[in-house]
A and B are shown apart, each in its own frame.
Chain A
Amino acid sequence: MRSYFINRLLSLIPVLFIVSVIIFMIIHLTPGDPAAMLLGEEASEQQIQDLREELGLDLPIITQYGHWILNALQGDLGTSYFMKQPVIDAIMSHLAPTVSVAIIAAFISLIISIPIGILAATRRGTNTDRTVMGISLLGMSVPSFLLGLFLILLFGVKLQWLPVAGYQPLSSGFVEHIKYLILPSIALGSMHAALIARMTRSSLLEVLNMNYIKTARSKGVSEFLVVMRHTLRNSFLPILTVIGQTLGALIAGAVVTETIFNIPGIGQLIINSVERRDYAVIQGVVLFVTCTYVFINLIIDLLYGVVDPRVRLNKK
């Protein structure tokens, strides 16, 4: 188990290195200049040139990459040209809203999806099953931005139950904090909920057909225990994989939802930084998101061992 963990951590290094080179090259080869964006379209060539020199943008790309990677290895991701603050601070200040939305979205999708997935599997072929499958198909097909706009118009503009947009930090009170997160979390979580529900159903069905389930039933074990103790645990690996991917996707992929609901999270940070050609921030965020994704996958892999003893045995 320990060597597995260490191997997984070491395998991060080439991944991060390749990602850093690719992202560095892509953004530096894209037309557009942070100095020109900062000074506006009326700035003279000389003013832009002066600022480029001050920001170190006139150096060869290889030199710039060298500086950046050496600093990054020491934990310094550079300074944002636009925000005039360290990139790590910018990421941290934009992280809380994204994590808040992701957690609530994951919570909402899990409490809905797993029970209805179980329900559909145990009532296979019935109207309940068909309804659940229909709704989940709809959930997967409706893009989150469309659902988001619908929610804004219905619950924000028309009924005025919830704020239409914005973000309040936890420090302004739990209720206030949650109020702003409900609609974006539903918009973001619905697609994942649908995915997890379908995965729960199919994975349960596979196990429910196994001989040992039939044996348990024939021995008179109650249906509830059959599902909860024997089936669910043994069918949990694929579900866990989807949950893990969901969490990663929620952190990395909240871009559109954050824009619509005006939540100042990581998604908005990256969009804004690309528009401003704020190289240091783009590089920093991509590295950060890559690390998060890889880390979540690592945790999920480790959880396999906890959930399913067969994985533990194989690893030995």
Chain B
Amino acid sequence: MKKISILLWAFALLFALAGCGKDSGKTAEGISEAPDGGEVKVAMSAQPPTLDVQLTTSTDAIDVAINIYETLVAQNSKQQAEPMLAEKIEKSDDGLTYTFELRKGVKFHNEKEMTSEDVVASMNRWLEKSSRALLLLEGTKFEATGDYTVEMKLQTPVTDVLDIMAGRGQFPAIMPSEVIASAKEDGVTENIGTGPFKFVEWKQDQFIRLEKFDQYTAAEGDSDGLVGDKKPHLDAIEFHIVTDSSTRLAGIQTGEYDIALNMPFDSYDQLINTKNLNTFSSFDSGTISVAYNKKTGVMSNQAIRQAINEGIDANSIMLAAVGNEDLYKLDAGYMSPENEDWATDAGSESYNQNDPQKAKKMLKDAGYKNEEVVVYSTKDYDHHYNAAVVLKEQLSQMGVNAKLEIYDWPTLLEKRSNPDNWDLLLVGTGYVTTPSQLLVLNPTYSGWTDDEKITASLEEIRVAETKEDALAQWSDLQAYMWNDYLPHTLFGHYASIITTTDKIENVEILNTALLWNVKKNN
């Protein structure tokens, strides 16, 4: 579809639709006079594989499911964990037991009241199904100690356990216990949560329709990210699956859709200059990096990884990937630069060195003998492919015998699981709430980071007494990742583009458009 998009822009230029300049990245705030009600059509770029978010990390699934499901703890706008379906959380002195007092009177969409039975069933399923929970919370169990009290028992103290529970990928959605009981390997059969909107219809490859849940019980406190007093104002939301980005663009321009997610980078200038549209560039999408295969092949040599890192010009790669300086940030941090608890630039002395001559020499010293280096990428994500092409060029300048291999996404997923196939892999990773969840550091994730110091360091972060201790430990680890081990070379952070028509008010952006406070002004 890339070619089609290019042609569309060519046509768009021909038509040269006039518009006046407007600030981007602003969030609509203030109290709206618009009445409640109305329907909003959201154009999304792909159909989610399932709405059972305990199973999937698909961002498309999460974009829809955060309206349907809620969790015990959730992220506020600063990506910190706060109570959501829990009213009060107590931690035992030894750090092994957490007691959650549940909010009373919270109704599921089937009008049943949420009790500890549902929470225990949901949380224990999550512990079994979520790969992060399996890795980071091994041996943890939930038990009901009263109708509205639940205990979580850990095997070892885990400082960031609440942050893990508030993470967005494979999140611990609370569902009715009977839904959990009848779930199969490929997911639950009903989508019932406690969220502000209830699931109504899924017309395959067309739309997913949610309607306002009249009996929604909001939490106390100001609405902030995924927590606080969320108020569903709209009668219904329809998520339309519009895979072609030029169609999403045309659709938002004509008002066919009210909100469009995942807009193409190359439409950004056009969008911010179009009247009647509000365009948000949100820097919470994630990072683009290249993973080194540390299991086999030349990249298992740390000195060769360091040599390549020395020669990388991150700016050219990011510019090629997203095509606009406003849409990326050069920053050595692996966590979101907006994350107040974890952002650090430790190790930046090794970031973006752009010295191919030095790299060439370092490669020679490291014993690189012109072996072929296979770089994997996919055209299914334009920014991955564009970054890979420039990376390959930079590798050649360093004297690396690089070969680019491009596959469609399902093929790439399969081929990259075999360490004998590739040396470098272009990856985009979403942000996580704590360093221990970073895929870059996961020994089973492509690239196979398996290093004693990293493992020990992660463990220390997880049992640190205070957040400050944990951040200090994480800074040390990030510096070690950059200056020594180099599991990946991070190129930069990129934004996602969300556009709404000016009829939409009160939209808050946190990874995606949050829709519960939204009003539509006709």
Q: Which of A2-40 contact B (CB under 8 A)?
A: 30-33, 36-40
Smallest Cβ distance from B436 to chain A, in angstroms?
14
Which of A81, A85, A150 lies in contact with B186, CB distance below 8 A?
A81
The reply to whether A157 and B15 contact each other, CB–CB distance below 8 Å, is: yes
Smallest CB gap from A38: residue in B: B49
In the bound complex, residues from chain A placing their C-beta under 8 Å from that of B131 are 42-44, 47
> With an 8 A cutoff between CB atoms, is A259 at the interface?
yes
**Among A39, A156, A158: residue with most chain B CB under 10 A:** A39
> With an 8 A cutoff between CB atoms, is B134 at the interface?
yes
Cα A272 to Cα B47 with chains together (Å):
9
Q: Which of A243-277 contact B (CB under 8 A)?
A: 259-262, 264, 268-269, 272, 275-277
> With an 8 A cutoff between CB atoms, is B415 at the interface?
yes
Cα A158 to Cα B11 with chains together (Å):
11
Smallest Cβ distance from A204 to chain B, in angstroms?
36
> With an 8 A cutoff between CB atoms, is B129 at the interface?
yes
Q: A42-B132, A166-B256, A272-B205 are in contact. Are A149 and B185 (CB under 8 A)?
A: no
Q: A42-B170, A44-B134, A157-B15 are in contact. Are A262 and B445 (CB under 8 A)?
A: no
> With an 8 A cutoff between CB atoms, is B124 at the interface?
no
Q: A149-B11, A153-B12 are in contact. Are A160 and B244 (CB under 8 A)?
A: no
> With an 8 A cutoff between CB atoms, is A177 at the interface?
no
The reply to whether A259 and B244 contact each other, CB–CB distance below 8 Å, is: yes
> With an 8 A cutoff between CB atoms, is A230 at the interface?
no
> With an 8 A cutoff between CB atoms, is B293 at the interface?
no
> With an 8 A cutoff between CB atoms, is B4 at the interface?
yes
Smallest CB gap from B252: residue in A: A164
In the bound complex, residues from chain B placing their C-beta under 8 Å from that of A1 are none
The reply to whether B410 and A32 contact each other, CB–CB distance below 8 Å, is: yes
Q: A41-B57, A81-B186 are in contact. Are A156 and B242 (CB under 8 A)?
A: no
Smallest CB gap from A45: residue in B: B444
In the bound complex, residues from chain B placing their C-beta under 8 Å from that of A262 are 240-244, 247, 251
Q: Which of B1-37 contact A (CB under 8 A)?
A: 1, 4, 7-8, 11-12, 15, 17
Which of B243, B246, B414 lies in contact with A32, CB distance below 8 A?
B414
Cα A273 to Cα B52 with chains together (Å):
20
Cα A29 to Cα B417 with chains together (Å):
17
Smallest Cβ distance from B421 to chain A, in angstroms?
10
Q: A43-B131, A94-B205, A153-B12 are in contact. Are A31 and B185 (CB under 8 A)?
A: no
The reply to whether B7 and A146 contact each other, CB–CB distance below 8 Å, is: yes
The reply to whether A40 and B49 contact each other, CB–CB distance below 8 Å, is: yes
In the bound complex, residues from chain A placing their C-beta under 8 Å from that of B439 are 42
Smallest Cβ distance from A33 to chain B, in angstroms?
6
Q: A33-B410, A38-B49 are in contact. Are A150 and B204 (CB under 8 A)?
A: no
**Among B12, B15, B204, B205: residue with most chain A CB under 10 A:** B205
Cα A40 to Cα B130 with chains together (Å):
11
In the bound complex, residues from chain A placing their C-beta under 8 Å from that of B466 are none
In the bound complex, residues from chain B placing their C-beta under 8 Å from that of A167 are 206
Q: A51-B185, A157-B254 are in contact. Are A36 and B11 (CB under 8 A)?
A: no
Q: A32-B413, A37-B49, A37-B410 are in contact. Are A157 and B186 (CB under 8 A)?
A: no
The reply to whether B57 and A259 contact each other, CB–CB distance below 8 Å, is: no
How many A-B contacts at CB < 8 Å in the complex?
147
Cα A157 to Cα B185 with chains together (Å):
45
The reply to whether A93 and B247 contact each other, CB–CB distance below 8 Å, is: no
> With an 8 A cutoff between CB atoms, is A299 at the interface?
no
> With an 8 A cutoff between CB atoms, is B169 at the interface?
yes
Q: A38-B50, A82-B49 are in contact. Are A47 and B254 (CB under 8 A)?
A: no
Smallest CB gap from B8: residue in A: A149
Smallest Cβ distance from A146 to chain B, in angstroms?
6
In the bound complex, residues from chain B placing their C-beta under 8 Å from that of A42 are 57, 131-132, 169-170, 439, 445
* Contact string against B for A residues 74-85, beta-carbon threshold 8 Å, 1 for contact and 0 otherwise: 000000011111
The reply to whether A166 and B410 contact each other, CB–CB distance below 8 Å, is: no
> With an 8 A cutoff between CB atoms, is A298 at the interface?
no
Cα A146 to Cα B246 with chains together (Å):
12
Q: A42-B439, A42-B445, A83-B204 are in contact. Are A31 and B253 (CB under 8 A)?
A: no
In the bound complex, residues from chain A placing their C-beta under 8 Å from that of B92 are none
* Contact string against A for B residues 154-180, beta-carbon threshold 8 Å, 1 for contact and 0 otherwise: 000000000000000110000000000
Q: A47-B129, A157-B253 are in contact. Are A32 and B50 (CB under 8 A)?
A: no
In the bound complex, residues from chain A placing their C-beta under 8 Å from that of B206 are 167, 264
The reply to whether A54 and B410 contact each other, CB–CB distance below 8 Å, is: no
In the bound complex, residues from chain B placing their C-beta under 8 Å from that of A93 are 203-204
> With an 8 A cutoff between CB atoms, is B499 at the interface?
no
Smallest Cβ distance from A90 to chain B, in angstroms?
7
Given contacts A83-B204, A145-B4, 11 further A-B contacts (CB under 8 A): A33-B413, A33-B414, A40-B55, A45-B444, A54-B185, A84-B186, A93-B204, A146-B7, A164-B256, A262-B240, A275-B410
> 28 A–B contact pairs at CB < 8 A?
A32-B410, A32-B411, A32-B413, A32-B414, A33-B413, A36-B410, A41-B57, A42-B131, A42-B169, A43-B131, A44-B134, A45-B444, A47-B129, A82-B49, A94-B204, A149-B4, A149-B8, A153-B15, A157-B250, A163-B254, A164-B250, A164-B254, A165-B251, A166-B251, A259-B1, A262-B247, A275-B408, A277-B410
Closest 6 A/B residue pairs (Cβ): A32-B410, A40-B57, A54-B185, A164-B250, A31-B411, A31-B414
